Structures are given as C-alpha cells and as structure tokens.
C-alpha cells in the first residue's frame, strides 16, 4: 500500500475558545469548526429538540394508544449493532413504561435479508403482533409494510437510511432523512431515532396521566445503548450525536451501564471506568456484530436486555468466541481477495471481488479492508442462500456516494440489480451470479465517471506538529478526555520528525520503537502491522501518529500510535 499524502487541517479562529483550555485542544477544536465555549458543552440539555422530526407526534400517538389498550407491540429490528441497540432500547423503554406486551423479531440474515420483508411480517404475526415498530430499517420495505397493513397490522417505521423514490405506506414514518423532514440533524443513527420516539411517547403518556401511579423512567437511562449504536454504526458525530455519545460514555464510566455492555467491555479486557468512544467502535461493536454476522442477532439483543450480571458475562463470552471466529474467517477472505486482485492486476476504479466460498456475513468487513488498501470503492460478494444469487456489501471513499452510484447503475441497466440500499459510504445489494461481470463493468464505469482523480489519492489530514513540550502525558490525557471522537469529528493525529533509538518486533507483525523528537526526550511508540516496513535504529523518520495514554500495571505514560511511517534518512546516509 502506497503512502498517503499528508495535509494539515486549517485552523479556525481561536479567540472564542477558553484561554485556560489545553493549547493543543484549542487548535484541535478550532480545526473541527468549534470556535466558541458554548459549542464545547455536551450536556443532555444541549440535545436538539425534536422540532421538525416529521411523523414523531403521529408515531407517539399510535404507540401511546397501543400502550393504553395493552395491544401487542412487536419490534422489527436489524442484525447489526445499531439494529440491536435500537431493539433493546425500544423493548426496555416500553417495559419501563409499564407495557409488558412487547416482543421482537430480527430477520434471518441468510434467508430473509435486510429489513421488514413479508416473511418477517409473518413471523411477527405468529408472535401475536398488533402493531409493528421497525427500528433501524423500514424506509425501503415497501412490500413488507404493504403485507403488514393487508394483514390488519398497524406499522410505525423508524429509520435513518436514505429513502428511495417511493415511501412505504406505513401509519407513521419517523426518519430525519425522509423527504420534507426539517429536523436540524440528519445524522442520527437508528438508535438515535428510536430514542427520540421513545422520549415523545413518554411525553404523550405523561400528558395522559399514565405515570400518575407508575414510575416514570429517565430517558438518560438509555444513553449507553444510544452511544454504542451511534459509534458502531459510524454515523457522523455532529454536535447532537456527540451529546448523545458523551452522555452514554459518562454512564458507562460511572458504572451505570446495563450489564451486557459492561460484560462486553470486561470480556475484551477493558476497564469500563476508562471507556472511550473508540472502545465502543472497535471493541464492543465488533463483538455485538459477530452474533449477526455468523449466527443470530437475537443473541446480541438478549445480552443487551439481560439484567443479571453473571448471565450477561456468560452471554458476552459467547459473543467474544464468535468474534474470534469472525476474525479468522475475515483474515482468510481478505487474503483471498488480495491474491485475486494481484493475479488479475486490475486497474478498476470501482472494484468488485467474489469467491464462491466466502461467508455472506463477513463480506462487508472484507470490502472495508480492501477499500483501505486500495483506496477505491469496493464491493465484496458472497453466495446467497438462494441458488444463483449473490449478496454484496459495498464500502466507499470520500468522493463517491455509494447509494447514488448504485441507483445510477440501476437506472442505466434496469433489472441488473435486484435490490439495493444504504448510505453514502456503505451499501448492500443483491444480484444474480450470472450478472456479476456486467454489474462489475457498470459499477466501474460509474466510478470512473463520478470520482475525481484527486479523490483516488490517499490523504491523511493531521493537526500539525507537536513540539517537545507537548509530547507528554498531560496532552495525551487531555486528548483522551476531550472526545467523543469518531466519524466527522476525527480523533486528533499529528505529524512530525523523529530519530529511531530502539526497535523490536512484537507479536510477529508489530513494531515497537523508542523515538526521540527534535530537542526533546525519547518516548515509546508502536506501529501495528508495521514490522515488515520497520525503520532501523538511527533512521530519521517522518510520522503520522496519535498521542495516546499507555496504561500498564497501574502506571501511565504517553505513547505514539503510528499511523504512517516514512524513512527520511539512515544513520550512514550521505
């Protein structure tokens, strides 16, 4: 993989930020558009009001009626972390509102596919559903909603995915990305949408004196679920999402998370008291997702609903084992894909890869890994359960809106894609095996037409250089506590020159260094998967790195986590 270009972020005005703020943080915040003290506040009262969230009042009205009449509400979820946290939040909130007549269904990833299908409606009917509440799906489920309505069921859709040309004929739709919606943030995850819906339901029940003789739960109780689903779904962390995530992290750190989330952190060797947003995205999220990728996300939802700590630990251990299995499968599939691409020497801009032995639940991760390596939009395909069909998972780069690209292929080649949906950066689709060559060519053609050549060059944006006085534990701790960092509000990284004083290889693939900056004391650094390209002792190197807190046996120190390394000169260079 070629080295990326490095570009430093431009600073905004600093005058409006508190003078007592760590100077590195002042620069970091300024580069992310935060220019005043008010924008730094992430208290729950800073959450956007639901003004403009179309369909919210109607959804709350229908749900309140179902609660008052004791009607059976069945939650229709999804098989990823956002869908699981959304399902758990809806179920937990309804039960806390003293409505016990609630159940949930999740589509079989391998037999039903994504969303509310007619087949899933039938499963919900068998569970006695009178009202279906979709979470993290439904905006593209025209046939499923029609089947439910034809069966006499009420349907409330809550979703955040982009809408197609037609909307389902549900009784209510709550989705900030539906046409005509004027809610100020378009970046809520599915779990964020259902959080707003449950808050509106609580408000409506309160107005009907439902809580006069019942306990009224606090919506803050569900922020651990909102934080996990939001970060794991890699939605943009605008200020509203950062408020939600910050509130959830505070609950987790304070020991008030539900047992399932605490157990997932502990099984991964993380201290809940020090949880960061990156732990939710790279530690908890993958373990929860493993259930949906390899088996059944009902396992993940059951863990999130578990109230007993011991049972939660047992469930978390099962998901941890599934995640190890997932990593092994993913590793082999990525190796297959890289070998395949090396043998074909493809120069495609839009890359499609397929192997008949691949696992359908892991292709999204393969697409992501290959995309990172090639810096090209990638779609990885695996055989579907239905003979003659493929399911694909796509990942994009900045500069190509994936769902729009798939819509363009569909418009130019009607019938080539059976089904598709998703976001700008991730999407899914189904097509016939025999159509893969034609689709690959059509997708590449769209990518060539739509992607500017400059977008095909890998780029790393940094927050500039830290001087020797800033390369310490105080700065590292300030950066750690200043998040939450994530999509659209990236974790700070820096660039600078160092001299290699020590090097050793650990775990076969990782390089550990002791590096000395200009005019400063040496400090530790690690480059994961950097052993093959390691610099030598005495080399001068240019780094892109993150400054992090390294905790070991009760001691803390600053450490560089290397993102990219380029050797400038060796000790005997001349």
Helix, strand, coil content of the chain in percent (nearest 5): 45, 20, 35
- State yes or no: pLDDT of 570 exceeds 90: no
- State yes or no: pLDDT of 355 exceeds 60: yes
pLDDT digit string (tens) for 468-480? 999 999 999 999 8
Reported confidence tier of residue 507, pLDDT bands at 50, 70, 90? confident
pLDDT (0 to 100) of residue 306: 98
Reported confidence tier of residue 109, pLDDT bands at 50, 70, 90? confident
HSE value, Cβ hemisphere, 13 Å, CA-based, for 323: 19
The domains located in the chain, with CATH, are 51-319 (3.90.1640.30), 346-456 (3.10.310.30), 460-569 (2.40.50.460)
pLDDT (0 to 100) of residue 551: 82
Question: Of how many residues is the chain composed?
Answer: 574
Q: Are 225 and 85 in contact (CB under 8 A)?
A: yes
- Record the tokens describing residue 347, joined without a space: 């120069």
DSSP code string of 102-118 = EEEE---TTTT-SS--H
DSSP 527: E
Reported confidence tier of residue 264, pLDDT bands at 50, 70, 90? very high
- State yes or no: pLDDT of 176 exceeds 60: yes
Assign residue 415 a region (left: φ > 0; alpha: ψ between -120 and 50; beta: otherwise): left
The pTM of this model reads 0.92
Q: Are 566 and 6 in contact (CB under 8 A)?
A: no
- State yes or no: pLDDT of 571 exceeds 60: no
What lies within 8 Å, CB to CB, of 447 at 6+ separation is 348, 349, 350, 376, 377, 400, 405
Where does 457-493 show beta strands of DSSP type E?
459-462
Nearest to 90 by CA among 161, 151, 174, 150: 174
Q: Are 44 and 220 in contact (CB under 8 A)?
A: yes
pLDDT (0 to 100) of residue 574: 37
């Amino acid at each position: 993989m070629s080295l990326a270009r490095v570009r430093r972020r431009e600073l905004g005005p600093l005058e409006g930020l508190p003078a007592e703020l760590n100077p590195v943080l002042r620069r970091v915040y300024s580069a992310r558009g935060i220019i005043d003290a008010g924008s730094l506040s992430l208290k729950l009262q800073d959450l956007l009001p639901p003004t403009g969230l179309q369909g919210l009042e109607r959804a709350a009205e229908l749900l309140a009626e179902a609660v008052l009449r004791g009607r059976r509400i069945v939650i229709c979820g999804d098989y990823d972390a956002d869908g699981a946290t959304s399902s758990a939040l809806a179920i937990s909130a309804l039960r806390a509102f003293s409505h016990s007549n609630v159940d949930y269904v999740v589509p079989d990833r391998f037999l039903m596919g994504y969303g509310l299908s007619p087949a899933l409606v039938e499963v919900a009917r068998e569970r006695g559903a009178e009202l279906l509440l979709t979470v993290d799906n439904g905006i593209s489920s025209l046939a499923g909603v029609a089947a439910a309505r034809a069966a006499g069921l009420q349907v409330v859709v809550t979703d955040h995915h982009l809408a197609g040309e037609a909307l389902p004929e549900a009784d209510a739709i709550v989705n900030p990305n539906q046409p005509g919606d004027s809610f100020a943030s378009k970046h809520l995850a599915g779990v964020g949408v259902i959080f707003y819906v449950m808050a509106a339901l609580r408000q409506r029940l309160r107005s009907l004196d439902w809580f006069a003789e019942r306990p009224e739960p606090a919506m803050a109780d569900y922020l651990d679920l909102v934080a996990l689903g939001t970060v794991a779904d890699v939605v943009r962390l605008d200020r509203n999402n950062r408020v939600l995530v910050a509130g959830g992290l505070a609950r987790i750190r304070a020991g008030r998370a539900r047992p399932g989330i605490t157990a997932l952190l502990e099984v991964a060797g993380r201290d809940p008291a020090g949880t960061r947003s990156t732990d939710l995205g790279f530690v908890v999220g993958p373990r929860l997702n493993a259930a949906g990728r390899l088996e059944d996300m009902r396992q993940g939802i059951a863990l999130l609903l578990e109230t007993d700590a011991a049972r939660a630990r047992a469930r978390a251990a099962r998901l941890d084992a599934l995640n190890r299995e997932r990593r092994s499968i993913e590793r082999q599939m990525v190796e297959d894909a890289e070998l395949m691409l090396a043998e074909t020497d493809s120069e495609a801009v839009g890359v499609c890869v397929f192997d008949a032995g691949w696992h359908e639940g892991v292709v999204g991760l393969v697409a992501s890994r290959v995309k990172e390596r090639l810096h090209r939009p990638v779609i990885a395909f695996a055989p579907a359960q239905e003979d003659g069909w493929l399911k694909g998972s796509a990942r994009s780069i900045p500069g190509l809106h994936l769902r729009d690209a798939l819509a363009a292929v569909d418009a130019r080649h009607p019938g080539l894609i059976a089904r598709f949906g998703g976001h700008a950066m991730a999407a899914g689709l189904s097509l016939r095996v025999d159509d893969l060559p034609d689709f690959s060519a059509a997708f590449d053609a769209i990518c060539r037409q739509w992607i500017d050549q400059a977008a095909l060059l890998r780029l790393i944006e940094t927050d500039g250089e830290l001087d020797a006085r800033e390369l310490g534990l105080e700065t590292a701790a300030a950066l750690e506590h200043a998040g939450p960092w994530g999509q659209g509000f990236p974790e700070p990284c820096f660039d600078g020159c160092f001299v290699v004083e020590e090097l050793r290889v650990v775990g076969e693939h990782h390089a550990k260094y002791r590096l000395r900056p200009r005019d400063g004391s040496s400090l530790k650094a690690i480059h994961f998967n950097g052993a093959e390209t390691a610099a030598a002792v005495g080399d001068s190197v240019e780094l892109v790195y993150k400054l992090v807190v390294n905790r070991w046996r009760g001691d803390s120190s600053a450490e560089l986590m290397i993102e990219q390394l380029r050797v400038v000169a060796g000790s005997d260079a001349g």
